Chains A and B, each alone.
Chain A
Amino acid sequence: DGGITQSPKYLFRKEGQNVTLSCEQNLNHDAMYWYRQDPGQGLRLIYYSQIVNDFQKGDIAEGYSVSREKKESFPLTVTSAQKNPTAFYLCASSMRQLSYNEQFFGPGTRLTVL
């Protein structure tokens, strides 16, 4: 079955540590996205990528970094510079970055900073 996988489902981090969230898709989609979800705030875009080896900052990129070395993979690193990293992180992909194409979402990773 085609889809998007995110791992791990739950992640715990100590303050001051970097942590990497995995996102893989086998839908052959060109565009991939990372969102952060906090209660009552909806989804906010962190980074997005239209093609391999290219990505752009979203609305809340500070304290995060990404890479896009393969079409299928778009890992997100939450660095120690992110002041409030505890949140639910969602990865999404779309066929190509055109408005009318829906975004498909993964199941999410819940990150908790201890």
Chain B
Amino acid sequence: AQSVTQLGSHVSVSEGALVLLRCNYSSSVPPYLFWYVQYPNQGLQLLLKYTSAATLVKGINGFEAEFKKSETSFHLTKPSAHMSDAAEYFCAVTGAFNFGNEKLTFGTGTRLTIIP
């Protein structure tokens, strides 16, 4: 079984400041991890994914995340926040090698606000 914990349901950062959104996972098997972004009243869009290749994953819009097995973490970062980054962000996990049973388990989300 897998689970995800996103620390901080709301995060505010100033424009130009570092963005750090936290995600910790629990998995009984090697995990695959995903970050999705959701703008108001829209569906989710994939930012990046970790599938057991490089531990530092680069995604769209300047975001990146680092898989740290020892800390069971997959935090999302961006060096400089932009107003357009304001959205809700979801971390999700599934178990690698779960062929035929690949359900994603989502965290409860973090709403990111950018302060001008």
Contacts and interface: CB of A to CB of B under 8 A. Distances in A.
Contact of B32 (A4, A58, A99): A99
19 contacts: A4-B43, A40-B109, A42-B106, A42-B107, A42-B108, A43-B44, A58-B103, A90-B43, A99-B94, A99-B95, A99-B97, A99-B98, A99-B99, A100-B49, A100-B51, A100-B96, A102-B34, A102-B49, A107-B43
4 interchain residue pairs of minimum CB distance: A105-B43, A42-B106, A100-B51, A42-B108
Contacts of B108: 40-42
Interface of A: 4, 40-45, 48, 50, 58, 90, 92, 94, 97-108, 110
Interface residues of B, number: 28
B102 A99 contact: yes
B9 A108 contact: no
Interface in B67-116: 90, 94-104, 106-109
Interface of B: 9, 32, 34, 36, 41-46, 49, 51, 90, 94-104, 106-109
Interface-centre pick from A43, A90, A98 (highest chain B CB count, 10 A) = A43
Given A99-B51, A105-B45, 17 more contacts: A40-B109, A41-B108, A42-B90, A42-B107, A42-B109, A50-B100, A90-B44, A92-B44, A94-B102, A97-B100, A99-B32, A99-B96, A99-B97, A99-B98, A102-B49, A103-B104, A107-B41
A106 B41 CA distance: 11
B40 to A, nearest CB: 11
A40 B100 contact: no
A43 B103 contact: no
A26 B96 CA distance: 27
B109 to A, nearest CB: 5
A57 to B, nearest CB: 11
A110 B41 contact: yes
